[in-house]
Structure 1
Amino acid sequence: MSIQFILGRAGSGKTRHMLDEIRDNLREKPDGEPMVLLVPEQATFGAEYELAQTPGLQGIIRVQALSFRRLAFRVMQEVGRSTRIHIDDTGKKMLLHKIIRRRAKDLRIFAKGNGQSGFIDRVNDLYNEFKRYQIDGSGLLQHIQTNGILPDKERMLQDKLHDLLLIYDEFEQELGPHHIDSEDYLATLTEQAGSSSFIKETVFWIDGFHGFTPQEFAVLEQLMIHSAKVNIALTLDKPYESGREPHELELFHPTATTMIKLRELADENGVMTEPHFVMGGEPLPRYERSFMLAHLESTFDRRIPYKGPIEMEPSVVLHSAVHRRAEVEGAAREMVRLARDRNVRWRDMALLVRNMPDYEDLLATTLTDHGIPHFFDQKRTVLHHPLAELIRSALEVVTGYWRYDAVFRCVKTGLLPAFAQQDLPSPFDIHVEGDAFTARNITRRNLDELENYVLAFGIQGGRWTDDRPWTYKLQRSLEDEPTGPNERERAELQRVDVTRRAVAEPLAAFERGLKAAKTARGMAEALYGLLDSLKAAERLERWSMDALAAGRAEKAREHRQLWGAAVDLLDQIVETMGDEAMTPEQFAGVVETGLESIRLSLVPPTLDQVLLGSMERTRSGKVRYAFLLGVNDGVVPGRLSEDGVLSEGERDRLAETGLLLAPSARRRLLDERFMIYTAMTVASDRLWVSYPLADEEGKSLLPSELIRRLKQTFPALKEGTLMGDPGVFIPSSHEEDERTPLDYIAHPERALSYLIAQLREWKKGSQIASVWWEVYNWFVSQPEWRPKLQTLLQSLFYTNEVERLSRDTSRRLYGTHLRASVSRMERFVACPFSHFMSHGLRLQERRVYRLEAPDIGQLFHAALSMIAQNLMREGVSWGALSAAECRKEANDAVDVLTPRLQSEILLSSKRFTYISRKLKDIVGRASVVLGEHARRGSFEPLRLEMDFGGPVSELPPLSFKLNNGCTMDIIGRIDRVDSAEGESGLMVRVIDYKSSQTSLRLDELYYGLALQLLTYLDVLVTHAEGWLGREAIPAGALYFHVHNPLLQVSAALSAEEAEDRVFKRFKMKGLVLAEPEAVQLMDGSLEKGHSALLPLALKADGGFYSTSSVMTRDQWGVLRKAVRSTIREIGTEITDGTVDISPIRLGPKTPCAFCAYKPVCQFDTLIEGNGYQGLAKQGKDQLWDLLREKGEHSSD
């Protein structure tokens, strides 16, 4: 019964001394008394490995490397206390969630925080802190009553303590005698140490600790009393006697207070303190190969400038980096250099940071790119894992009314449906026809098809579990009556329905089980039933085997551990909540809390790899080369923030009353020096220190005070600068330019990236170092790298240009006889590549169940067409209707069309019902205005939605013989054809309804961007004799804007004035025949001035103002020929295979703004060869000349 302290500064050989003593004991007495090497939990694997590596030993059965918790479990097994059911942090958080929810009415502060992210974690952390500092509910209550926390002055603290006491008591009652909390392990160990023969026979060696909690001190006290001997290593420069408190600013304050406390416990219990074993040496053993590191350690708290020998390769290296990525890449290159040139093993290197979240992703990708094996020394969260996502999303399916995103989050985990395996044949290799398609045929493509279908029809809720087959079908046109599916559509619907059932059935069974269960136990059983039905365990095992086969041992362990963690989570729900009643929503909250709490502890998958860890947590063992990254101001040392349940002020108040909790923020800040000391003295051969100058957003970062201290300690230390690219490397102003491109040639993968960047600069005319040509020659000479080099070299000459389709390909896509609409012609002019995507490859955007502008425009067209058709059928003129009758007709038409629009989207919610009312208002307003048009003019609707060029159309197409021998028919549908009988003959006009403001501009017409109206008018006039039996005069081509305008006025208006202003806002745009008769037939109320209906104004002498949009008959002939010439040119270009990525720009307008194919074309004006076709704006007279010239070259 004795204790011996093994003391020494960092690197003095304390750990080596302890291991040597243990090894000597093992050699002398292989079957002697047991020994335990007690180390922090994260260091147990390394300690066991070191012992196992002992030369000449056949086994190490006498000695075990244990943590405090594993030691407690070992003793509990011996004394019979291990039968109590263990509740870990995951179970505790779920239990806390339940208690706070259940006692919400009794809580003063905490009830509001239960739904906040991280709140349960903070409450659990404080609960654990209470346990570690040996504070129980009764003790806390007694302390409060004794020391008088005054509610009047400290109401917030009083309320918090009230809530904590309530939760603490309830928590302990919930645990009862049959459960044990993780934090109670050490308390149990303290109670049972005296009854353990294992403890009595064991010699303990304790290493890797700098301080202990009161709970751990209590364990150590029992070990001193009952064990054979306790040996403890502490990082201290000298022994500290009882009663001599170290100064708070001393570097070794944490370990000094630890030693003093242990000596006091030994004296109190009559335990003999053997003579201290103080390690030393000059230099210390760890730094025998490095004068600079020895000096850094010995003068860390004194800042004495280094005056020792000049090292050929400095063992302290300092770098600044332009950003974190450059910093990590620089460290990775150095690691590769050490392994390649110095034969340094990966396991002899460690990289430490203070804030791992800032670096984790960068480290993972960069080290992988450089081929550096690595291991993160930290526990992993599981929320990213498919199994955790399946559990969360399945619960959301039930509680969230089967929303699209929840269902397909389940599907995309790869675990649903159970038989949609990833190793199924490619969907393109499976040919299943008609009724032969079954659930066993489901592939990933079928699941994608299902997702598209669900998105298109907005399917959610009960429709997922409907026994009836899904037969929802998109309505191609609102005017057409709904029809049944054709054969191809029936096959698609069957595939979708079979896939839907495969997805929905396990989730529906889970929903029934979850809703039928009224207790936590029943709900946990329902969730386990879902996982079992999906064969989740088997799937994870297979994933694990696949990961092992691919050399990803860490991922394989993650898959295996997570299944056990998930089952354990359900077990703890049953154990802690059992028969407690709860709703599915409450159960989902409990599970979410549990999943957020799960942490996986993974052992290193291989022995030879770089250790990545935090400065605070990681115990790195034997490290020759240490890399300290992110040494910035506010990070090293850190700024301590208040994010706990108790503020620092409240902790100070409790400390004043004698309640001992974790060290205060001030004490932790002072102890930062010791943490930095241990991190900077871990390496034996070289220390790399670096810091970034900016973060990912470009915000500047300042270096830590530690950087200045390093420069003071080593005045000759040169600070290098790490740039992100070798081509722009700039050495620090105070150093010679020692950097060469060779520094960036560390690994083929990264060197190839740098080479391509250098060649890109060379291509621009810059000079590059000759070594890059040697690198190029090396890659050319390597068969395994040559293909990748060739692929990347193509990027240097990439112009994002596409070749013209071959004649054969063009004919296969379009044939020799092209049938096309006018809008297709306009699309081609706007961008040939967009036309190729839409009409050549026929790519379509994924349909989504939402109301968009084209849907609204379709509704307006159909509603106004239906009104006109009804009036024509009844023989009633639109002008004969009153405003109320016009609105009624509009309402009736919209009511008929509403169920046909986007799968009844306007009937799907109250919001859409409101939108439907607004749409009725707009159609009603347009109907009233069109009625006024009819009253003021003589034109009447002749045809509505008039097809031409179709098999059963009343009018034939416009046909063209193209210059390349192909032929082309222009087909389409005209919204509205009006006619009026005049003295000069029958006049016809075209009206096109638009849901946005549109005008007919001559420049757009000349360039081929606005061909529609005049082409329609051409069709009518060309074929008039065939369908009207006489010639027709082209009276006009006009756009009618369907909207419900809002007026902005500065003074009140009468109803008549307001109506008149609204009416004028509906003035049509386009072109009108420049003849008085045509104008009078359209607007009989116009004598002079501006027309309220037409885009023109009359002078007193009957002439037209220059701003009028009119055309003479001669000009109509010019336009007709020009339009035909343009159409023929476009058709020739299409059939010749033109697919250029060359969008037009006319003023500020480009087609790219709303193009669905931007992700495909990758058009970017910064890429060589990419640029807009700039279409010059012309004057009106010049445009007429150009149109006339174009028409003269037409053969029509």
Structure 2
Amino acid sequence: MLHRIIGRAGSGKSEYIKTLLGEKIEQNAQCVVIVPVQQSMEYEKDVCVRFGAKANLCAEVLTFDRLPNRTYREYGELAENYTDEGGRALMMASALEKVRGELEEFAPVCGENSFIQKMIETSRVLKENGIDHKLLSGVGAGRLGKKARETDRILCEYDSMFGENTRDVRDVLTVYAQNLKRMPFFKGKTVFVDSFNSFTEQQQRVLDEIYSQCDELYVAICCDAEDKSEMFTNPSLAYARLARHKKYEDIEMQSGRRFVSPCLAYIEQNLWNDRAPAFGGGCGDVRFIKCASVFEEAEAAAYAAIEFAGSGMRWRDIVIIARNPESSLGVLDAVLQKHSVPCFFSAKEDTLTKPLSVFLISALECAANDFQTSSVIKLVKSGYMPVSPSEAELITRYAQTWNIRGKKWITDVRWLMNPDGFSARDTKNNLRRLEIINNARWKISAVLGDFYEKLRSGNTYASGAEALYGLLLSVNAADQVRAKAKALRESGDDAGAQRLTRLWDIVISALEQLHDAGGEREVTPAVLQKRLELVLGTYSLGAVPAVCDSVIIGGASVFRANNPRAVILFGANDGEFPASPSVNGVFDRDEVRRLAERDIYIEDTFDRQIANEKLFFYLASCSASEKLVCIYSTGGSQRPSIGAMRLARLCPGSETVVFGETPETLVFSAASAREHSHMAKGDAAILLREKGLDDMSSAREFPLCDKDAVINYIDDGTVSVSPSMFEQYSNCPFSFFAKYVLKLKANPKAGLDPSELGVFVHKLLQLFVSEYIADPSLRPLDEKKLALLTDRYTDDYIMEVSKGDELPKSVMYSFGRLRKAMCILFRKVAEELDSSHFSPVAFEKQMYDRYVADDGLSIDFSGIADRIDTRTENGVTEVRIIDYKTGTRKFRAEKLDFGLDLQLMLYMDVYLRQHSYPPHSPAAVGYFPAKIQTFKYADAPDGAGFEKCLESSLRMSGVNTSPDEKKHISDEEFRKLLAKTESVLKKTAQLIVKGKMQVSPIDSSVKDGRNKLFDKDPCKYCDNKSVCRLSDDFRVKRRSPLIEEVENRG
């Protein structure tokens, strides 16, 4: 007899079944319990705990997937060979190749992995729903009819590839239902089916056969026939389908048995009831936490879990439910671990992103795209190549710098170019790094070269699979996997070790399938790569919890919590949880609806998807018996979901916490206390003192990502600074900290970016001006002489930088365009020298002096002046200092207060201090523009357009004392600027020594009158954005000088 157990969430359906099961076990009756896969382990554990060893003799907890194997062990059929998901993918790919010529709608995409996966999914859905794909051939005319007929043709070809020796794994339950007619496995048994929301047609057919054999069949379904919210649409269909059996009994469970909290019981009854009034009682059992990002959401989840544990709950009493927990993998679990919250991710992980998979896929990618830099870097960074982590880091940085690609990776030719990019300086450190890089290159070349040759010698699936297996052998991948798994276990990550071991089995299985299914069919490395990705992408990795007492993280669509006391709804954002309806197959929304009208359910219609999403959110919200926390984000375009808003409407008296704005959300664990202790104020500071934390020690431990950072800078009474260091600190102290204290460095690119272009222009200008002054024969300077000089300087520079090695074609092309531009620039510089009353006396002049601050701090200043000119009149030598700028920068005396544009003034101050006799006086400082990075006029036949562009921008920007200039200042005013510069230098150096390293970038929108004061936004091209993470926060922008800001703070 069939017993339909119906009830809403928390009505005690599972408890009722377990009570009946216990009674049957006491009577020594044979029982089978069928539950979803995700529930099986917890359910079996609970049965054993409740009913002891006797349960092992009388009861079995199975899933629909395990039922056939269990039955066949008694009655045979185990020898049947079923192709798994990876094999199905290869079969579908092969079927599409065969029918490609017959397709029209799908022809352009039938070779793409994404389309193959959609067709696999279409086949699965049709088989699970018991629908013959041949029905698609009669859909009718139009585009829908054409797509339906092509789908039918593809699936016909796909099915024809299976024979007596091989079956589709998706046919297992269909075949099993037929086999049960002659296999009385359930005869004399009591069968319980629990925790399902609906059944596929295949599962229904199995249940029909079970019903015909067993003594009693109990089926529990979460459903309410009186509910008008439509969330029970699918459960109601399953419930009605069971009524086809003549003998059945309905058992209705009373709602609300689970809930200790009256508020949660009210939510269960009225979540999607639009007419329900707000709960009239206390809403303290429901809370909302508003966050700004997914990172804050993860912190909020940790905060809530720790608070629940502090109230007396065990970790296993707490559950975190997300709509798609896989999307937060690596964030949520990492944050929980940081705060010492034991957790288990009850979700499958993608195999394609795992290092072992990346290793094989990137190896094929290298062969397919001629060893593109990005592909080789993925291969090296996978962790399976025979190089150490430090070697991998050095060689990948070198490859990115010089864009190493092609056969350079598999030849024996040494790499000679500078690891720092376009630089002629061969320091001992650079030579040492280059030696390490070449040793690593040799190891990589040995592995890659052998693999490449094996691929070239055979062009079939079988030979490709053998080459990939040979690649695994060449790097001792099996030993590496064992060692990595052992290390994971020793570190306490048993789940990670399980997944890694499982991944190895999957990879070997994938190679075997490529070998057997593809056989001697020809294939290119690019297609082989796609097929390997396709096969690996069909598998996922799971594990069992390593500890009993841990917070479980699960997905709303499949996860069923085991009577938790508290639930945390994670990511209840609009469009995420509940999720928005979507179309995932080859038919659009309207086509899916039209097919459903013909009873061809190729995927859920939008109405069904909406009903399912309501059900998932309802089940998650009603899982807890005592406490519910709903976490959502309002940062950027995010807002709370309709589910979160429904909860808030029903519980107006519940608390909403803005995460990070209260002391409790800042300090809730030892890790959070350490992170925030140095910036705590008010109540938070009191909490920290109660915990006995040392503010300064924690400040030194957590200086990063802090708008108020202070560090212990080494103060031995002396600080050495350069103009670039001052510029960096004045723009943003944190960027100085990252670059000069932490030594963080962006990977250089050996291309003519603005910085490299500046080095090139400075070098050539120095050579030209020196030779032009020293060699009178260059006058007059005609085009032929200019071309010869430019070619010689450029060729020498290229040779010096490349060491004779071949530079990238793009770089050589840029140098070719630069030659004409440099000719024009040289002529303009020559004209300026010929017409000037000043004469150059030094190029690339090393400047050094020591300043002493009021507190005794010694400041060693050093830098290099591009050019120093002088002229002597009336016994006084006037000094002009010039700096070549390839950018758009203009000198503004107003920026001196902000610690910017100190460079030229300091050079002038140092030069005057060191040349007091005979008397020297300041004449001018300025930037000489050399803006040749714009090439758009350089290709004109006569260069006239580019020359005109240069002439308009060759006016020096600076300050001078010459009355001949329209804008000039007096000698006294110039010396006041020098005094101001010295004062800013000393005060800024004192801030550096005191360790003031806060995130405080200059606000580039500051104006001096009607004009912008600053040339650029210091955050826009900052290399440390990923470390700072505050560059988009307008609250940290500074509109006043740094010295003034610090003084105001006290």
TM-score range, shorter chain: 0.7 to 0.9
User: Which whole-Å CA distance do the structure 1 matches of 2:234 and 2:904 have between them?
Assistant: 81
Question: What residue identity is the alignment partner of 1:513?
Answer: K
Task: Give the direction of change, closer, same or farther, for the CA distance of 1:87–1:546 in structure 2 (3 Å limit).
Answer: same
Q: Return the TM-score normalized by structure 1.
A: 0.70
Question: Which of 800, 816, 819 is equivalent to 1:920?
Answer: 819
Instruction: Give the paired residue count.
Output: 1018
Question: What residue identity is the alignment partner of 1:44?
Answer: S
User: Which whole-Å CA distance do the structure 2 matches of 1:193 and 1:252 have between them?
Assistant: 31
Alignment of 1:742-1141 (within 5 A): 748-749=669-670, 752=673, 756=677, 760-762=680-682, 768=683, 773=686, 775-776=687-688, 778-780=690-692, 786=693, 791=698, 800=709, 806-807=715-716, 810=718, 846-864=747-765, 876-879=777-780, 881-901=781-801, 907-909=807-809, 911-930=810-829, 994-996=885-887, 1009-1011=903-905, 1041-1043=929-931, 1066=954, 1105=964, 1107=966
Task: Give the direction of change, closer, same or farther, for the CA distance of 1:947–1:821 in structure 2 (3 Å limit).
Answer: farther
CA contact (8 A) 1:829 1:1008 kept: no
Task: Give the direction of change, closer, same or farther, for the CA distance of 1:397–1:933 in structure 2 (3 Å limit).
Answer: same
Superposed displacement of residue 66, structure 1: 1.6
Superposed displacement of residue 105, structure 1: 4.4
Superposed displacement of residue 71, structure 1: 1.1
Superposed displacement of residue 492, structure 1: 4.0
Higher CA-based Rg = 1
User: Which stretch shows the higher mean deviation, 76-85 or 993-1002?
Assistant: 993-1002
User: Which whole-Å CA distance do the structure 2 matches of 1:371 and 1:929 have between them?
Assistant: 67
1:36 has 2:32 as partner: yes
Alignment of 1:299-318 (within 5 A): 317-318=285-286
Question: What residue identity is the alignment partner of 2:393?
Answer: D
Superposed displacement of residue 344, structure 1: 4.3
> What SS does the aligned partner of 1:187 have?
helix
Superposed displacement of residue 171, structure 1: 1.9
User: Which stretch shows the higher mean deviation, 984-993 or 497-506?
Assistant: 984-993
Task: Give the direction of change, closer, same or farther, for the CA distance of 1:966–1:801 in structure 2 (3 Å limit).
Answer: closer
User: Which whole-Å CA distance do the structure 1 matches of 2:727 and 2:660 have between them?
Assistant: 48
Deviation string for 1:1014-1062 (max 9, x for gaps)? 68997999999xxxxxx9999998865445699999xxxx999997896
Task: Give the direction of change, closer, same or farther, for the CA distance of 1:1057–1:368 in structure 2 (3 Å limit).
Answer: closer
Task: Give the direction of change, closer, same or farther, for the CA distance of 1:921–1:38 in structure 2 (3 Å limit).
Answer: same
Deviation string for 1:415-443 (max 9, x for gaps)? 3326x3xxxxxxxxxxxxxxxxxxxxxxx
CA contact (8 A) 1:352 1:628 kept: yes
Deviation string for 1:202-240 (max 9, x for gaps)? 553322334322222222233334x343513233889x9
User: Which stretch shows the higher mean deviation, 456-465 or 518-527?
Assistant: 456-465
Question: Which of 607, 627, 634 is equivalent to 1:695?
Answer: 634
Question: Which of 112, 129, 140 is equivalent to 1:150?
Answer: 140
1:470 has 2:424 as partner: no
Question: Which of 363, 367, 376 is equivalent to 1:407?
Answer: 376
User: Which whole-Å CA distance do the structure 2 matches of 1:306 and 1:476 have between them?
Assistant: 69
User: Which whole-Å CA distance do the structure 1 matches of 2:945 and 2:194 have between them?
Assistant: 93
User: Which whole-Å CA distance do the structure 2 matches of 1:253 and 1:838 have between them?
Assistant: 60
Superposed displacement of residue 585, structure 1: 0.9
Superposed displacement of residue 973, structure 1: 7.5
CA contact (8 A) 2:370 2:406 kept: yes
Deviation string for 1:987-1014 (max 9, x for gaps)? 9998765535677888899995315886
| Residue number in structure 2 paired with 1:583 | 524
CA contact (8 A) 2:2 2:249 kept: no
Question: Which of 542, 550, 567 is equivalent to 1:609?
Answer: 550
User: Which whole-Å CA distance do the structure 1 matches of 2:738 and 2:227 have between them?
Assistant: 77
Question: What residue identity is the alignment partner of 1:855?
Answer: E
Superposed displacement of residue 446, structure 1: 3.8
> What SS does the aligned partner of 1:207 have?
strand
CA contact (8 A) 2:12 2:258 kept: no
> What SS does the aligned partner of 1:851 have?
coil
Alignment of 1:726-745 (within 5 A): none
| Residue number in structure 2 paired with 1:646 | 587
CA contact (8 A) 2:4 2:250 kept: yes
Deviation string for 1:3-56 (max 9, x for gaps)? 554556655554444444444444444xx7x54222222222123213322445
| Residue number in structure 2 paired with 1:429 | none
Task: Give the direction of change, closer, same or farther, for the CA distance of 1:97–1:344 in structure 2 (3 Å limit).
Answer: same
User: Which whole-Å CA distance do the structure 1 matches of 2:10 and 2:556 have between them?
Assistant: 17
User: Which whole-Å CA distance do the structure 2 matches of 1:1140 and 1:335 have between them?
Assistant: 37
CA contact (8 A) 1:988 1:1034 kept: yes
CA contact (8 A) 2:2 2:217 kept: yes
Task: Give the direction of change, closer, same or farther, for the CA distance of 1:1015–1:568 in structure 2 (3 Å limit).
Answer: same
1:232 has 2:218 as partner: yes
Deviation string for 1:296-341 (max 9, x for gaps)? 7688999998999x99x87x94444434878877776665555554
Identity, % of aligned positions: 19
User: Which whole-Å CA distance do the structure 2 matches of 1:925 and 1:633 have between them?
Assistant: 59
Question: What residue identity is the alignment partner of 2:966?
Answer: T
Superposed displacement of residue 886, structure 1: 3.0
> What SS does the aligned partner of 2:192 have?
strand
Question: What residue identity is the alignment partner of 2:794?
Answer: V
User: Which whole-Å CA distance do the structure 2 matches of 1:639 and 1:1163 have between them?
Assistant: 31
CA contact (8 A) 2:838 2:870 kept: yes
Superposed displacement of residue 393, structure 1: 3.1
1:190 has 2:177 as partner: yes
The higher-RCO structure (CA 8 Å, 6+ apart) is 2
In structure 2, stretches of 5+ residues that fail to align are 1046-1050
CA contact (8 A) 2:290 2:657 kept: yes
Question: Which of 250, 253, 257 is equivalent to 1:286?
Answer: 257
> What SS does the aligned partner of 1:1010 have?
helix
Task: Give the direction of change, closer, same or farther, for the CA distance of 1:116–1:1107 in structure 2 (3 Å limit).
Answer: farther
Superposed displacement of residue 605, structure 1: 2.8
Task: Give the direction of change, closer, same or farther, for the CA distance of 1:53–1:1158 in structure 2 (3 Å limit).
Answer: closer
User: Which whole-Å CA distance do the structure 1 matches of 2:227 and 2:176 have between them?
Assistant: 33
Task: Give the direction of change, closer, same or farther, for the CA distance of 1:942–1:660 in structure 2 (3 Å limit).
Answer: closer
User: Which whole-Å CA distance do the structure 1 matches of 2:741 and 2:616 have between them?
Assistant: 66
User: Which whole-Å CA distance do the structure 2 matches of 1:1173 and 1:237 have between them?
Assistant: 65
| Residue number in structure 2 paired with 1:221 | 208
Superposed displacement of residue 1144, structure 1: 12
> What SS does the aligned partner of 1:64 have?
strand
Task: Give the direction of change, closer, same or farther, for the CA distance of 1:511–1:1072 in structure 2 (3 Å limit).
Answer: same
User: Which whole-Å CA distance do the structure 1 matches of 2:993 and 2:264 have between them?
Assistant: 69
CA contact (8 A) 2:866 2:884 kept: no
1:553 has 2:494 as partner: yes
In structure 1, stretches of 5+ residues that fail to align are 241-245, 268-272, 421-443, 712-716, 729-740, 763-767, 781-785, 815-819, 950-956, 1025-1030, 1075-1103, 1177-1196
CA contact (8 A) 1:830 1:1151 kept: no
CA contact (8 A) 1:26 1:60 kept: no
CA RMSD of aligned residues (A): 5.8
User: Which whole-Å CA distance do the structure 1 matches of 2:163 and 2:471 have between them?
Assistant: 31
User: Which whole-Å CA distance do the structure 2 matches of 1:989 and 1:292 have between them?
Assistant: 80
